[in-house]
Amino acid sequence: MSPEFHYTLLIAKPLTEVWSALTEKKMIDRFYMAPVHTLELKEGGKIKLRKRSGVHYRNNYGTQGP
């Protein structure tokens, strides 16, 4: 079994702004590496991103594929 890795990041913004940036499509589009095509807001949900050229790819915890 691999050791666990924990990372702490302190963000000097109100909780509502941080939550919005993590859960709202328009905010993710603004700050993430690629615009969101599909976003499942549930435990274990997936995010499907769209490359700037319009080609789709999936990002499931760092893996990519067509």
pLDDT-derived band at 14 (thresholds 50, 70, 90) equals very high
Per-residue pLDDT averaged across 46-59, rounded? 66
Expressed as residue numbers, the domain containing 56 is: 34-66
- Residue 43 inside a domain? The answer is yes
Q: Total domain count for the chain?
A: 1
- Residue 12 inside a domain? The answer is no
Rounded distance, CA 13 to CA 1, Å?
A: 36
- Residue 55 inside a domain? The answer is yes
- Residue 46 inside a domain? The answer is yes
Query: Structure pTM?
Result: 0.49
Amino acid at 14: P
Does residue 41 or residue 56 have the better pLDDT? Answer: 41
How many other CB atoms are there within 10 angstroms of residue 27's CB atom? 16
Provide the CA 53 distance to its chain's centre, in angstroms: 19
- Residue 21 inside a domain? The answer is no
| Helix, strand, coil percent values for the chain (each to nearest 5) | 25, 20, 55
- Residue 16 inside a domain? The answer is no
